[in-house]
């Protein structure tokens, strides 16, 4: 599980996958059993070994109380991944959404410009709606196109605030094929300013002004 908190990746991995990591990928390595967690230790890319529920509690307390909590990424190595993930979800109101990476017949990808950044079409799931249905509906509504659903790419999690509520949004992402963009236009009431079909080089340039979670979607897409 990777959660993007303030656009910074926080990753939960089990101990049996620890051997896939390399110490050189991190600026700071901490052992939660041997040393206290303080904001001064969270600099750059951090990995924390022997993470417990108390470790997670401490981290989120720091996250919500320390101004300018200055890390780039955090990896927590845990014994019980499922339990820790449930603990984290309990700190937030979980909102479910779905979206797509849409290709046209020229193998270009549909990107949208919204809130000053390049993004992908997505939206919240209606009650009792399947994620696949949500993905198609939201893409067609936001872009005024028709699509065919393909394979799932990945699931992302990211946080934001809505009033006094802390929100954790789960988004399932799918490959899609556009079958009709004759009347394509941005859904301006959703803050979408522009839609653009982009080739690979254009997408890479757009991703420089995007979100870490969106770059993660493309990383996962490229693995398929």
Residue 176: per-residue pLDDT? 98
The pLDDT-based confidence of 210 (bands split at 50, 70, 90) is very high
Mean pLDDT (whole number) for 105-113: 98
User: Which pair of structure tokens corresponds to residue 93?
Assistant: 């109101």
Query: Is beta strand 117-119 parallel, antiparallel or unpaired with respect to 2-5?
Result: unpaired
Question: CA gyration radius for the chain?
Answer: 19
The predicted-structure confidence for 11-23, as pLDDT tens digits, reads as follows 999 988 776 777 6
Fold of 93-222: Nucleoside Triphosphate Pyrophosphohydrolase (3.90.79)
Dihedral sign for Cα atoms in the order 138, 143, 149, 152:
negative
Please check whether residue 147 is in contact with residue 140, taking contact to mean a CB–CB distance below 8 angstroms.
yes
Q: In the predicted model, is pLDDT for residue 89 greater than 90?
A: yes
Closest CA to 136 of 192, 165, 175: 175
- Residues 6+ positions from 86 with CB-CB distance below 8 Å: none
Q: Give yes or no for residue 162 having a pLDDT over 90.
A: no
Number of neighbouring beta carbons within 10 Å of residue 47:
22
Of the pLDDT bands very low, low, confident and very high (cuts 50, 70, 90), residue 92 is very high
111 CB-side CA count, 13 A? 27
- Model pTM score: 0.91
Q: What is the mean pLDDT of residues 50-59?
A: 95
Contact by Cβ (8 Å): 221, 153: yes
Would you say the C-alpha torsion 72, 115, 131, 127 has a positive or negative sign? Answer: positive
Query: What is the per-residue pLDDT for 100?
Result: 98
128 token code pair: 């009792």
CA dist 91 and 157 (Å) reads: 13
Q: What percent of the chain has pLDDT over 90?
A: 82
The domain spans of the chain are 2-89, 93-222
């Amino acid at each position: 599980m990777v959660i993007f908190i303030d656009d910074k990746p926080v990753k939960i991995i089990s101990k049996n996958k620890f051997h896939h990591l390399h110490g050189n990928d991190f600026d700071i390595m901490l052992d939660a059993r041997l040393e206290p967690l303080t904001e001064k230790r969270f600099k750059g890319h951090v990995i924390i070994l022997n993470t417990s529920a108390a470790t997670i509690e401490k981290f989120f307390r720091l996250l919500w109380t320390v101004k300018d909590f200055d890390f780039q990424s955090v990896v927590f190595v845990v014994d019980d991944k499922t339990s820790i993930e449930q603990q984290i979800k309990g700190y937030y109101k979980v909102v479910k959404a779905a979206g797509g990476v849409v290709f046209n017949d020229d193998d270009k990808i549909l990107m949208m410009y919204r809130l000053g950044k390049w993004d992908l079409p997505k939206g919240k799931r209606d009650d009792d709606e399947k994620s696949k249905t949500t993905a198609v509906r939201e893409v067609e509504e936001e872009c005024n196109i028709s699509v065919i659903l393909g394979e799932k790419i990945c699931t992302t999690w990211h946080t934001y605030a809505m009033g006094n509520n802390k929100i954790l949004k789960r988004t399932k992402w799918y490959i899609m094929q556009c079958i009709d963009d004759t009347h394509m236009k941005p859904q301006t009431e959703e803050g979408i300013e522009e839609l653009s079909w982009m080739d690979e080089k254009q997408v890479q340039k757009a991703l420089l002004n995007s979100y870490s979670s969106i770059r993660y979607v493309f990383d996962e897409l490229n693995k398929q």
